[in-house]
Amino acid sequence: MQRMASYDRAMRLLFCFALLGGLLAACVSAATVPPSTPSPPPFSSSDPLPTPRPRRLQAGELELAADIDAIPAIFASPDLFVDARAGSEEWPDEEPVIGVELGTEARAYPIRLLSLHEIVNDTIGGEPVAVTWCPLCYSALVFGRTVAGRELTFGVSGYLYRNNLVMYDHQTNTLWSQVLAQGLKGARRGDRLRVYPSLITGWGAWKRTHPHTRILSAERMGRRADEIIDPYAGYYTAGSAGLLGSDRQDTRLAAKALVVGVRAGDKARAYLVDSVREAGILQDRIGALSLILVYDRKLQTVLTYRSNIGQRRLTFVAPAGEDTMRDIETGSLWDIRSGRALQGPLAGQTLHRLAAPLVFWFAWSDLYPHTELFAPPE
């Protein structure tokens, strides 16, 4: 009975969010109608992690919380974005944004706006992508929209899987888990989406480190930024976790502790953001995957890299400054933001950035019940 009452409350709350999204859709219909676009040629994924086994859904695990497309995805065009100068007239420096850089292009997506839409179908650096935000899990992931040589577009299905956003694609009607980055049900079940690195930071920090960035404009969508309210603003710091509850509560950390989640094959491990911040750099190994997590003090976020160049595994020491670190083996100086060696024997080499999401602990441990929790060395 208690779980049913919790579910009823969740349904009422989500209905309010869906209604708000529907009202907003009327203002931005030109931005939320899927355009007719030809399929691009296929590209090869450089994702180094193997595809995990498909999830076996248990009865009731896919929970319907809102009607399909009640939360309207955005179908972006270049004219919905403005440069950093114009963007600063709309959005304050402290505005949380999802930052993405592909090729020579950088984009910022205000979370306050994404909380009303959850998905932006876009193209960055010539790559069709879906920028996604799950407010319940505090997780931002950017996916390639080309699957098996076919360009897909994504919408909000209205389902939740263990409190996480479930997307669907218009072309095959497959249901996709955001954090798992994998098809749950439908024609592409078991397929894994290519995940691009992204981060959550403040607009001011992002534009200072990416001066040529463009940002999604509320005004270009027929809205005023100062009138947009994130319906989840109170939830991020509230004691409650998720809307639909969970039968799997992992008490090793507080439910809403922020962690960086890393998956390597069938293994998963979580790293407490506070631990990375305190150490500056954390070095680890998961099976064959050697990695480092670096805290970027300018962006106030965590960047995750493979710690090897070719077959050579490197050991890194705490940042030499706000923007650099050194490896012990060669003494080369590395830029923490690009992963590129600036000086020394390895100058010009670049570390591979891993797409490791920031996420609430309750969500990560629910989606990966056997996850390990990294314990920093004493």
Task: For residue range 239-275, list pLDDT tens digits in order.
Answer: 889 987 666 689 999 999 999 999 998 899 999 999 9
β-pairing, 96-102 vs 199-202, is antiparallel
pLDDT in tens, 7-61: 344 444 443 444 344 433 333 333 444 433 333 222 223 344 445 566 777 767 8
Q: Per CATH, the architecture of 258-373 is what?
A: 3-layer Sandwich (2.102)
Residue type, 274: D
Domain boundaries, the chain: 2-36+51-227, 258-373
The CA R_g of the chain, rounded to the nearest whole Å, is 20
Task: Please tell me the predicted confidence (pLDDT) of residue 80.
Answer: 98
pLDDT < 70 stretches in the chain? 1-54, 59, 245-248, 319-320, 378
β-pairing, 119-124 vs 74-75, is parallel
Residue type, 297: R
Label residue 214 left, alpha or beta by phi (over 0 means left) and psi (-120 to 50 means alpha).
beta
Task: Please tell me the predicted confidence (pLDDT) of residue 65.
Answer: 92
Task: Please tell me the predicted confidence (pLDDT) of residue 314.
Answer: 98
d(CA 48, CA 147): 16
- Nearest one of 192, 196, 63, 79 to 127, comparing CA atoms: 196
Task: Please tell me the predicted confidence (pLDDT) of residue 5.
Answer: 39
Which H helix or E strand runs over 305? Answer: strand 301-306
